[in-house]
Amino acid sequence: MAAEVFRFQLEDVEKDYLKELVRTSIRRGLDNDFGQNSVPEPPTDTLREELGVFVTLKIRGQLRGCIGHIVGDKPLYQNVYAMAQAAAFQDPRFRPLSPAEFETLEIEISVLSPLELCPDPERIEVGRHGLLIQQGGHSGLLLPQVATEWKWDRLTFLRQTCHKAGLPPDAHTAPDARIFWFEAEVF
């Protein structure tokens, strides 16, 4: 039930720091300096909490890269730094980001609550919950904003998460399927 009370919120100064951190990370990657040795220290202790994160990059509204780390096993600011470079240079769907593209980059950061087993798929709220579906050796994750952007209802969201996992659309109803939900602070 904790997923229903997650209301992690960042202050504007923290959001500004993280957005600038993404730009710094990518700039360093463009300069072939991928190390995390000199990641700028965060302005608050909140950014040192161990939380998962996704960094989404777009150019003129079109997806250009999106990589995340769903488990909070390092401080948030370190995960953001690493995921920014991964989204820019390691997303297998795209070629590495170029210096020319950097100037037009739109950044979206999604800070994730811890994953929890969803007690009842009927309680999934489109736009509030993100989903992770696991079955056998397959898994697929969709962020909360994906369902909203595509104007999906709950069932379509579940089916599309199954599709992302490489599973049949109704796999979420199988007895061995596990559905996890989470919330995200998206900015």
38-66 pLDDT tens trace: 888 999 999 999 999 999 999 999 999 99
Cα–Cα dist 76/83, whole Å: 10
95-151 pLDDT tens trace: 999 999 999 999 999 999 989 999 999 999 999 999 999 999 999 999 999 999 999
Q: What is the pLDDT of residue 68?
A: 96
Q: What is the pLDDT of residue 4?
A: 47
Superfamily covering domain 2-112: Hypothetical protein ph0010; domain 1 (3.30.700.20)
Strands 52-59 and 62-69, by their bridges, are antiparallel
The lowest-confidence range among 26-40, 62-76, 86-100 is: 26-40
Nearest to 44 by CA among 80, 10, 72: 10
Cα–Cα dist 57/55, whole Å: 7
Indicate the SS3 state at residue 50: strand
Domain boundaries, the chain: 2-112, 116-186
Question: Model's pTM, two decimal places?
Answer: 0.87
Burial of 147 (0-12, 13-18, 19+ CB in 10 A): buried
Within this chain, domains 2-112 and 116-186 share the same CATH topology = no
What is the fold of 116-186? Dna Ligase; domain 1 (3.30.1490)
Rg (CA), the chain: 17
